[in-house]
Amino acid sequence: MKLDPRTKLFLAVAANSVILSAPFAYSVLMVALPAVLLLFERKWKLVFSFFLTYSVAGLGFEYLKGMDLGMAGTLVVATAMLAYRMMPVCVVLYYIMVSTRANEFMAGMSRMHVPNKATIPLTVMIRFFPTVFDESRAIGNAMKMRGIRLFSLQTLKNPFAILEYRLIPLLVSLTKIGDELSVAASTRGLAPETRRTCVVPVGFHLQDVVVFVYCIAIIALFAYSRVSV
Amino acid sequence: MPNVKTTGKKSSNTLVRDLVNVGIFTALYIVLAFLSSSIGYIPALIVVSTCSIALVTSIPMFLFYIKIDRPMLCCMLLCGIFGTAMLLMGQGVLMLVICLVIGLLTGICLKVFRKSFVGLFLANMVMSLMSSSMMLPLWTSTEEYLSYTRTMCDEGYVAHLAELSQSYWPLIGIYTFGVLGAIVGGFAARRVMKKHFERMGLTR
């Protein structure tokens, strides 16, 4: 199932606004949408483990948050919060990253009359989040082989060393990738002043309408519950 | 070559490279800022967390400032995208405005001092104000920020924040630590530049 890039942007905004502030009942309704959409992308395992962690963390968080727990408690609640509030946001963004090709995203943005100067960095940024983590993981493995770990006595003795061993290789490889990417982009005629064409048809269909209506309905419900209290 | 424009402008190839660099470094900045600000979950370290953000992000930012050709545009874009991301994460419009102003100031620093160490250093210090401003709503609109945190954290943490918001000293502390982190990070970044990046030819 294919959604329009603009619908996905709307989904991201709507999901963030509900997930970050609403109680569990509304949040779970909102989270169900990207989960179902990810099922269409055939990510069974991810959706299952995500939903399990999310519900456990969410229920635990709702139970714990009214109490004053001290420092250790704050750490537990913060972890639950990350799984309950931040993880769904990341999953929505992950869905957008997995399902949207760069050219579709650019076509959608240019339909919304966003200038290319803003679209190019945004596209690159969305493409680069996974790359940052991949590269970082690879560098971490390489450093583990040399006996340099993130949490060890040696690191505690010299915290700057970890910056030097982890951050600098990451920067070097990312800038290399970036240079190659910009050369590849300009050979394909990507320039701020040109208007690009797109092979994939971008437009609103029935599924877009369904997503829009669902999001608006949940936001309206949530707003109504706020007003009536 | 007939297709080459000679309008005296910089070529659009370097513009694309700049824009791609903005994308990469924004992604990196957001990831690093979130990772290094997470020590703020320990209530005693809230004030110091800005220092760690400035410290960790100053090395990538130095590289970013050196790599770009159009400081004004690039810094505005980086800060604008960061501000929009903050807006999505639930911060107010004030944050976006602050981000844009700081982007402008950073661009001016780089424009005036070129790519000398002073320019990079000042730009980095101004940029550190942006990540420090994430806590600003706690003082400007206390109630809203507290109820926003209440949806995120337990009562003990919120009570600690409420206690902090009573006086303006922690706010001054947050900014001071941010700038301090940027100063230490700036000197560290200069050493790293000399030791690694210049040798690899990345600073061109």
B positions 183-202 inside 8 Å of A (CB):
188, 192, 196-197, 200, 202
**For residues A158 and A95, which has the higher predicted lDDT (pLDDT)?**
A95
Specify the higher pLDDT residue, A69 or A101.
Answer: A101
Over residues A22-41, the mean pLDDT reads 84
Q: Is the pLDDT of residue A46 over 70?
A: yes
Torsion-angle region of B23 (φ positive above 0: left; ψ -120 to 50: alpha; else: beta) = alpha
Q: Are A16 and B22 an interchain contact pair (Cβ–Cβ within 8 Å)?
A: no
* Preferred mutation among A11, A63, A65 to probe B, highest tally of B CBs within 10 A: A65
More confident residue, B167 or A173: A173
Per DSSP, helices labelled H in A1-43 are 5-19, 24-40
What does the DSSP assignment read for B107-136? HHHHHHHTTSHHHHHHHHHHHHHHHHGGGT
Task: Grade residue A85 by pLDDT with cuts at 50, 70 and 90.
Answer: confident
CB atoms B77 and A118 under 8 Å = yes
Across residues A55-72, what is the average pLDDT? 75
**Residue B8 reports pLDDT greater than 60:** no
pTM of the model: 0.86
Cβ-based contacts of A57 with chain B (< 8 Å): none
Contact B19, A124 (CB under 8 A): yes
Q: Which residue from B minimizes the CA distance to A14?
A: B88
Q: Inter-chain contact A81–B43, Cβ cutoff 8 Å?
A: no
Query: What pLDDT was estimated at residue B179?
Result: 92
Compare CB distances from B81 to A20, A121, A174 and report the shortest one's residue. A121
Q: Helices A102-111 and A116-145, interaxial angle, to 10°? A: 150
Across A193-197, B69-73, B86-90, B148-152, least confident range:
B148-152
The torsion angles phi and psi of B166, rounded to 5 degrees, stand at: -65, -40
pLDDT band at B1 (very low <50, low <70, confident <90, very high): very low
Instruction: Look up residue B40 and give its DSSP letter.
Output: G
Q: How far apart are CA A66 and CA B154, in angstroms?
A: 6
A174-218 residue pLDDT tens: 989 998 988 888 888 787 777 778 888 888 889 899 999 999 998
Partner-chain contact A77 B157, CB within 8 Å: yes
Nearest chain B Cα distance for residue A8, angstroms: 14
| Residues 8-67 of chain B whose Cβ lies under 8 A from any Cβ of chain A | 12-13, 15-17, 19-24, 26-28, 31, 41-44, 56, 59-60, 63, 67
Asked if the Cβ–Cβ distance from A75 to B73 is below 8 Å, we say no
The rounded distance, in Å, linking the Cα atoms of B38 and A4 is 35
pLDDT confidence of residue B107? 93
pLDDT, tens digit, for every residue of B152-196?
A: 666 777 777 888 888 888 888 889 999 999 999 999 888 888 888
Calpha distance B114→B112 (Å, rounded)? 6
Predicted pLDDT at A80:
79
In chain A, the residue whose alpha carbon lies closest to the alpha carbon of B147 is A21
Q: Which residue has the higher pLDDT, A82 or B67?
A: B67
CB B79 within 8 A of CB B103: yes
Burial of B163 (C-beta count, 10 Å sphere; 0-12/13-18/19+):
exposed
pLDDT digits (tens, 9 = 90+) for A93-140: 888 888 888 888 888 888 888 888 888 898 888 888 888 899 999 998
Q: How much is the ipTM here?
A: 0.82
Task: Using alpha carbons, select from A9, B153, B17, A80 the residue that is nearest to residue B161.
Answer: B153
Tokens of B50: 């800005």
List the alpha helices (DSSP H) in chain A: 5-19, 24-40, 44-64, 70-81, 87-99, 102-111, 116-145, 153-157, 159-162, 168-187, 206-228
* Span of A118-132, A164-178, B31-45, B147-161 with lowest mean pLDDT: B147-161
Determine what percent of chain A is predicted with pLDDT higher than 70: 93
Interchain contact A158–B (C-beta under 8 A):
no
Tokens 């968080």 map to which residue?
A: A61
Q: How many CA atoms lie within 13 A of A74 on its CB side?
A: 21
